[in-house]
Each structure stands twice: as structure tokens, then as C-alpha cells.
Chain A
């Protein structure tokens, strides 16, 4: 990313806060096995310890199966954020690659990719995934990454294609061609670095979209399956106790809201940072 964009971002308070939130969540997820007070699947006393409100022993309470909610939230972060990050990376990579292919190679490649995007973009993502799960059964987190990532590349591809097509006519690209640079070299050395900030924005937005998607799928029982924890299925476990055991709802929702909000703020600040540097 250009030094000046990066600089602007570093000095931007909302961006720093948002980044810190995401970094904190990621850290918690990574260190989950080390810092969880309990085993997330452990059901020590399904009778006495079920639905205990937040206390010193269980800071976030316990769920209907007496499992410690804090530990489940931490391990759930691993899954929820992991799936989201994986899907984001997959969709960013696919989107960039296909967008670049369409822009640089043009012709048939452009027709195929653009046609594909135009058709798929009208298809409701969630419905397709639900249909697939209904057909093939519940999905492992890996499959979730593939499905969510494989369906989220469309906007990135459009953005990359539009940006690169514009850049292809710039004189510094012409100069590289005149020197004898191959399309490959031009794409890697000149075009992709130019579009990297916009891809970062699209990726942040993709992250913000996937976290709730995964939570929603898990909530309806189609995503991450127990005993694996995810923020969505913690909510599912607490579905019947919404009014009595508030901690089963508040914490997962808060976690989702905070991470999605942070991702959105980051995307917005990044867009603002880029905006100041766009050359006509």
C-alpha cells in the first residue's frame, strides 16, 4: 500500500481503535486453548451447573449443558473468526485473480468472467448455501470457508476489473510495455499494487459480511455443529432461554457486533485514506 495511504491510516483514531478490536479478537481466538478456563465441551454438572449467571467462577455464565460460556466464546472465536478470515482471503484472492484476468487478457476471458459475475450477483448467497446444506448435510468449518469464500468474490472481481482497465491506459503501463514487459509482469509489478488498497477495502467489507453469515448458518443448525463452538451456535443453544438466561444472547451478539463494526469502520477509514491520494 502506498506509504501515504498507510501514513494517513496510522494517524486515524477510529481506524486504530477498529484495528485494535479486531487484533484483540484474533489474539483471543489464537490463544483460546491457553487462556480458556475450561474445556469448551466439558459438561461438569448438567444439573447443578446449568444456566448459571455470570459469576467469578464463570465470568460469562454457563449454558444449558453446564458448559462454560467464556471458554465456548473463546473457542467459538477461533471458528467464527477463522472461517470468516478464511472466507475473506479466499474471496479476495479469487476476486482479484478473476478481475485481473478479465481486465488484462480481455476478450473471451472478460466475457466469461463478467458474464459469470452478472449472473451470480443476482443469486441470493444465503439461499444457495442453505440449499447446498439441505442436499449434502451439515458442513465442516472447512467447507464453510469454501462455500462462503467461493460465493463472495463477485464485488471484488468487479472492482479489480474496473480499476485495472482504467490503469491499463496509463502511461507508466505503456512505458512498461514499450520496455518489453509481459502482461504477467505488468500485472504483478504495476497493476496489482495499484489496486491493493481497494482490495483491502473489499476484503474488510467481506469480513463484515461473512461473520454474521456464518453466525446465522450456525444459529439455524446448518453451520458449525456441536460440540464445536461458534458464536452462532452458542446463540442457538440459548435460543430457548432468551428471556431467562440473557448472557447466552448478549455475549455472542456483542462479539459479532463489535467485530463486524470494527471491520466496517476499518473499511470506511481505509476508503477515506485512499480517497485523498487518488490521481486523476
Chain B
């Protein structure tokens, strides 16, 4: 069985003192090695959660897979996606892959969107940037996508600028941009951490629906096991740059092996309507 994504001994280093705030600034400056020897596979259509605390390296992992690591951070090892080693690709092929085959949704949608462009146009631009010649077609597809991700009153919202939308609406716009070209892998890096719990529930539902509908592989990164529980069949727990557990989500909840995994399980508030509380 060939996997869609195969990570082999991935290691991310900050070789010199990265100036200013680096991705994992904890106590007295930057870490030298952000990720140690990360290896895992993902099959097509699989849903995998990556859970760890701040500083565990999960965001760096997501960025490395997309080829979006900030300057100064170096990735070694092998990341095979659809048979190709992502780490050795040239920039042009990388950019082509990004959006068409793999896409990413970030935690803070505000910084990922262009503040000076209406959001509808930004979504449509995803299509035109990847070869869609027909501008009208791109716009229609964009509108359809905005509706698909559950954006209320899409015609109205599409005409607005990012700062005129709520956090949840912005996140849906980002989702629309990511899903427009039907990628086979979606990486969502803490997509709901900046949102209210009610909006979080809605966005997670959209993610689940789109994933099921398209048979898309989903890599969901979060600090909260609870967020991952309802969406991912398998979960990888990261701690201080290493994988400490890689198992079915259910197994992690019922029989966590590593203390960090146990701590994450314990930290999930078990509440809800009567009958579902632990």
C-alpha cells in the first residue's frame, strides 16, 4: 500500500540564533532542534490529528510539509508526497503543488488574508493563480465554495474586506480558498483556536463534511485533544519535538501510554449533555 504522505526521519533545526522571536521561544531563547526524527505515514482519505503543547514543534511540522518554514530553519530527512520528495523540490513545483494538491489553513486567518482585497476576489484568485483562465468561471467557483463552507449571505460577505468579517467568517473564507482546487491533502493548523467554542463547532463540522465528501486526507494540528477527537481517526502526540504516541484516537483516550498523552487526555473537559460525561 502506497501512502499519500510519508514522512521519514524529518528533523528541523535552527542552526544559528534565529533573531527575534522564533517559532518555539521558551525560556532563555530559541531551541536548537525543533523536531527530532519524525516519521509517520498517511493514507489517502485518512484523518490524522497532531496534538502537542506550544513548543512541541507541531506548527513547524505543518509548515515543513507545506514548504513554508521561515528563514533560518532547516529541514532534513525525507517527505514523500504522491511519490515525490517535497524537501528537494524546486520552488516553482512547490508552489504549483500548494493549492492544487495540498493546502493549508492557519490559526489566525486575519494575518493570512490580504487586508486590502475583498475576500471574494481573494478566493477567486486561488483559481486564476493556478491556471484558470476564465475570470468569470473563477468567480463563480469561488462563490459556490463560499456557500459550501457555510458562509452566511455569501454574496454580501464576498464583497467585504477581511476586517469587516467576524473571526468565524474569516476562517471559512480561508477554508474556501484551501478547498477550491480540491486538494487531496488539507493541513489545518489550529484552525479553531482563535474562535469561540460555538463557532469552533461549526468550522469543525464543515471540515468533517468536506473531508467526507471529497475523500480528502486531513491533517489537523491542535493543542486540544478534544478538538481532534470528533474528527480524526488517528492521532499523533508530539512532545518536545518527538513523536511519543501514534495510534487510533480511541486508543489514546482509553489507554494512553506516554505521560504526555495521558496529561492531554486528562485536560479534556468531559462535559456535554447528560449521558456523555465521563
Q: Does any Cβ of A come within 8 Å of B273's Cβ? A: no
Distance, CA A8 to CA B20, complexed state (A): 10
- What's the minimum C-beta distance from B173 to chain A, rounded to whole angstroms? 20
Q: Mark B1-38, 1 if CB is under 8 A from A, else 0.
A: 00000000000000000011000000000000000000
Q: Does any Cβ of B come within 8 Å of A107's Cβ? A: no
Q: Residues of A contacting B19 with CB < 8 Å?
A: 8, 276
Nearest to A8 among chain B residues (CB) is B19
How many residues belonging to A are interface residues under a CB distance threshold of 8 Å? 4
Distance, CA A88 to CA B19, complexed state (A): 32
Nearest to A280 among chain B residues (CB) is B111
Q: Mark A1-13, 1 if CB is under 8 A from B, else 0.
A: 0001000100000
How many residues belonging to B are interface residues under a CB distance threshold of 8 Å? 2
- What's the minimum C-beta distance from B41 to chain A, rounded to whole angstroms? 37
Q: Does any Cβ of B come within 8 Å of A277's Cβ? A: yes
Distance, CA A277 to CA B19, complexed state (A): 10
A-B contact count (CB 8 A): 5
Q: Residues of B contacting A277 with CB < 8 Å?
A: 20
Q: Residues of B contacting A8 with CB < 8 Å?
A: 19
Would you call the interface of chain B mostly helix, strand, loop, or mixed?
A: loop
Nearest to B20 among chain A residues (CB) is A276
Q: Give chain A interface residues in 258-280, CB to chain B under 8 Å.
A: 276-277
Q: Residues of A contacting B20 with CB < 8 Å?
A: 4, 276-277
Q: Residues of B contacting A276 with CB < 8 Å?
A: 19-20
Distance, CA A277 to CA B20, complexed state (A): 7
- What's the minimum C-beta distance from B109 to chain A, rounded to whole angstroms? 14
Distance, CA A137 to CA B20, complexed state (A): 54
Q: Give chain A interface residues in 223-280, CB to chain B under 8 Å.
A: 276-277
- What's the minimum C-beta distance from B242 to chain A, rounded to whole angstroms? 30
- What's the minimum C-beta distance from A274 to chain B, rounded to whole angstroms? 12
- What's the minimum C-beta distance from B84 to chain A, rounded to whole angstroms? 36
- What's the minimum C-beta distance from B180 to chain A, rounded to whole angstroms? 28
Nearest to B108 among chain A residues (CB) is A280
- What's the minimum C-beta distance from A69 to chain B, rounded to whole angstroms? 46
- What's the minimum C-beta distance from B105 to chain A, rounded to whole angstroms? 20
Distance, CA A4 to CA B19, complexed state (A): 9
- What's the minimum C-beta distance from A49 to chain B, rounded to whole angstroms? 57
Q: Give chain A interface residues in 1-40, CB to chain B under 8 Å.
A: 4, 8
Q: Give chain A interface residues in 84-122, CB to chain B under 8 Å.
A: none
Nearest to B19 among chain A residues (CB) is A276
Distance, CA A84 to CA B226, complexed state (A): 64
- What's the minimum C-beta distance from A130 to chain B, rounded to whole angstroms? 44
Distance, CA A277 to CA B21, complexed state (A): 9
Distance, CA A4 to CA B22, complexed state (A): 14
Distance, CA A276 to CA B21, complexed state (A): 9
Q: Give chain B interface residues in 178-219, CB to chain A under 8 Å.
A: none
- What's the minimum C-beta distance from A186 to chain B, rounded to whole angstroms? 26
- What's the minimum C-beta distance from B271 to chain A, rounded to whole angstroms? 29
Distance, CA A4 to CA B20, complexed state (A): 8
Q: Residues of B contacting A4 with CB < 8 Å?
A: 20
Nearest to B111 among chain A residues (CB) is A280
Distance, CA A276 to CA B20, complexed state (A): 7
- What's the minimum C-beta distance from B26 to chain A, rounded to whole angstroms? 17
Give the interface of B toward A (CB within 8 A): 19-20
5 examples of A-B residue contacts, CB within 8 angstroms: A4-B20, A8-B19, A276-B19, A276-B20, A277-B20
Q: Which 5 A-B pairs have the closest CB atoms?
A: A276-B20, A276-B19, A277-B20, A4-B20, A8-B19
